């Protein structure tokens, strides 16, 4: 097999990386090219950087629809700096009969002599140098490649790539500045960055201890004792899921705390609140008025609990029915509501609890299908938003099994 290796921090991965990978795959006829994110040296500045798990997640997302390109976690869990000669040496041992191509950029080539043990690098792999197609001094590059090939008795090959004017630093800076549209970032990766609030400077929902205590105090007064206990269970489960999936913890906790805040009102009070605040009551909410507390809750959270974070309000708004294409926080609150420690009646509860920490979408689709079945058995009307949510997630394994 011909195997390519492209290392980097991939913080985050972008179209420039993908472009090099595709060019190497096609021009060198590689069977597979591995994108290999670097580990995390302990002293590294952790600000504005994504933890290694997330860098790996993003690489996996970027390659998921690509033929012959894959993520490779060979270095990422190491805490020490990995020298290329060591990694390639190990890989050569792993794949003694395969031909390895190590990819580097044109600018790295100039420092190649000063890399640690370049001879060992060359003994393990051929070096493929990604060069810009429009680079003017191709002649010089070819000269260099020839010189290096002779010096290290190895194969230094040029691969011509289109220039993609982007860098990870540029992307991080743009996101920190709050820019919405980022070019040359794979769509799925961009979505992941937004969902997890990576690289954002202004973590606007860093809600303080004081505010959280104040919310708790109010809720304790408004809610029945058992509802308040449920609320605390949902909040801490939200926090645990946020740890698992990489979401700002305070925001998740707050969303959990407030998800049922409208349950302090009777159904009649909720209906009146809707009339007074121009909140439309849908046909299915007329038939199943207990659904209203989600909408009313989002409104109360905003006006009575001073939450101005749209993501938190959205998660409260849809915590009962779900909605198509839920955000990460939507899913966290929806699932936490179902699995918090006080719950005990649902049929597959233990399974859903386990699934929640393994695969969030699996847990979501299990809950959706179990809820639908439960409602159908009880002859309850099913809300149109619930139906749309099911339609959106029905192809995920776990649904209706």
Residue whose C-alpha is closest to residue 336's, from 262, 388, 391, 259:
259
- Report the nearest approach of Fe ion to the CB of residue 13 (Å): 37
Residue 157 site contact among Fe ion, ligand DGI, none (CB < 5 to 8 Å, cut-off depends on kind): none
Q: Which helix (H) or strand (E) holds 245?
A: helix 225-245
Residue 302 site contact among Fe ion, ligand DGI, none (CB < 5 to 8 Å, cut-off depends on kind): none
- Report the nearest approach of ligand DGI to the CB of residue 287 (Å): 7
Comparison of 164 and 288: residue with beta carbon closer to ligand DGI:
288
Residue whose C-alpha is closest to residue 366's, from 349, 383, 386:
349
- Report the nearest approach of Fe ion to the CB of residue 288 (Å): 12
DSSP codes joined into one string, 189-218: HHHHHHHHTTT-S--TT---HHHHHHHHHH
- Report the nearest approach of ligand DGI to the CB of residue 26 (Å): 49
- Report the nearest approach of Fe ion to the CB of residue 320 (Å): 5
Residue 131 site contact among Fe ion, ligand DGI, none (CB < 5 to 8 Å, cut-off depends on kind): none
Comparison of 55 and 317: residue with beta carbon closer to ligand DGI:
317
Where on the chain is the footprint of ligand DGI (CB under 6 A)?
230, 260, 288, 290-291, 319-321, 337, 371, 375, 380-383, 386
Residue 386 site contact among Fe ion, ligand DGI, none (CB < 5 to 8 Å, cut-off depends on kind): ligand DGI
Q: How many CB atoms lie within 10 A of CB 220?
A: 12
Q: Which helix (H) or strand (E) holds 34?
A: strand 32-37
Residue 40 site contact among ligand DGI, Fe ion, none (CB < 5 to 8 Å, cut-off depends on kind): none
Residues 371, 379: Cα–Cα separation, whole Å: 12
Residue 207 site contact among ligand DGI, Fe ion, none (CB < 5 to 8 Å, cut-off depends on kind): none
- Report the nearest approach of Fe ion to the CB of residue 293 (Å): 6
Comparison of 290 and 303: residue with beta carbon closer to ligand DGI:
290
Sheet of strand 99-105: strand arrangement: 69-71, 32-37, 2-8, 99-105, 126-132, 156-161
Comparison of 38 and 333: residue with beta carbon closer to ligand DGI:
333
Residue whose C-alpha is closest to residue 71's, from 34, 30, 22:
34
Q: Are 161 and 130 in contact (CB under 8 A)?
A: yes
Q: 97 is written with which tokens?
A: 């009969």
Q: Is the peptide bond before 4 cis (omega within 30 degrees of 0)?
A: no
Comparison of 128 and 316: residue with beta carbon closer to ligand DGI:
316
Residue 350 site contact among ligand DGI, Fe ion, none (CB < 5 to 8 Å, cut-off depends on kind): none
Comparison of 311 and 337: residue with beta carbon closer to Fe ion:
337
**Using the 8-state DSSP alphabet, how is residue 279 labeled?**
P
Residues 215, 211: Cα–Cα separation, whole Å: 6
- Report the nearest approach of Fe ion to the CB of residue 265 (Å): 13
Comparison of 14 and 263: residue with beta carbon closer to ligand DGI:
263
Residue whose C-alpha is closest to residue 304's, from 221, 189, 208:
221
Residue 383 site contact among Fe ion, ligand DGI, none (CB < 5 to 8 Å, cut-off depends on kind): ligand DGI
Where on the chain is the footprint of Fe ion (CB under 5 A)?
260, 337
How far is Cα of residue 183 from the mean position of the Cα atoms in its chain? Answer: 18
Q: Are 12 and 189 in contact (CB under 8 A)?
A: yes
Comparison of 179 and 384: residue with beta carbon closer to Fe ion:
384
- Report the nearest approach of ligand DGI to the CB of residue 381 (Å): 5
């Amino acid at each position: 097999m011909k195997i390519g290796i492209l290392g980097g921090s991939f913080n985050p991965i972008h179209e420039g990386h993908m472009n090099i990978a595709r060019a190497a795959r096609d021009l060198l006829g590689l069977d597979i090219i591995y994108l290999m994110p670097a580990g995390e040296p302990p002293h590294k500045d952790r600000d504005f950087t994504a933890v290694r798990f997330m860098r790996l997640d993003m690489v996996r997302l970027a390659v998921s629809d690509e033929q012959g390109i894959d993520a490779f976690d060979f270095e990422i869990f190491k805490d020490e700096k990995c020298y290329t000669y060591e990694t390639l040496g190990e890989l050569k041992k792993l794949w003694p009969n395969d031909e390895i191509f190590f990819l580097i950029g044109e600018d790295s080539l100039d420092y190649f002599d000063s890399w640690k043990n370049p001879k060992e690098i060359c003994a393990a792999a051929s070096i493929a140098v990604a060069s810009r197609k429009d680079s003017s001094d191709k002649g010089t590059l070819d000269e260099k490649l020839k010189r290096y090939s002779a010096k290290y008795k190895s194969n230094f090959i040029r691969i011509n790539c289109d220039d993609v004017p982007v860098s990870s630093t540029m992307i991080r800076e743009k996101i920190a500045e709050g820019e919405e549209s980022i070019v040359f970032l794979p769509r799925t990766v961009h979505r992941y960055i937004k969902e997890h609030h990576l690289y954002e400077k202004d973590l606007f929902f860093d809600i303080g201890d004081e505010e959280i205590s104040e919310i708790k105090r109010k809720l304790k007064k408004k809610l029945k004792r058992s509802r308040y206990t449920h609320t605390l269970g949902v909040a801490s489960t939200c926090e645990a899921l946020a740890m698992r999936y990489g979401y700002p913890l305070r925001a998740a906790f707050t969303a959990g705390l407030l998800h049922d805040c409208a349950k302090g009102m009777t159904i009649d009070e909720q209906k009146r609140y809707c009339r007074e605040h121009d909140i439309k009551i849908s046909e299915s909410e007329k038939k199943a008025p207990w659904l209203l507390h989600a909408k009313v809750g989002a409104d109360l959270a905003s006006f009575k609990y001073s939450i101005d974070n749209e993501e938190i309000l959205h998660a409260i708004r849809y915590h009962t029915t779900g909605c198509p294409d839920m955000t990460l926080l939507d899913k966290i609150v929806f699932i936490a509501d179902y699995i918090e420690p006080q719950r005990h009646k649902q049929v597959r509860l233990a399974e859903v609890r386990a699934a929640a920490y393994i695969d969030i979408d699996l847990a979501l689709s299990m809950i959706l299908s179990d809820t639908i079945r439960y409602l159908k058995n009880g002859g309850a009307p099913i809300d149109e938003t619930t139906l749309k949510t099911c339609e959106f997630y029905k192809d995920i394994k776990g649904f209706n099994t």
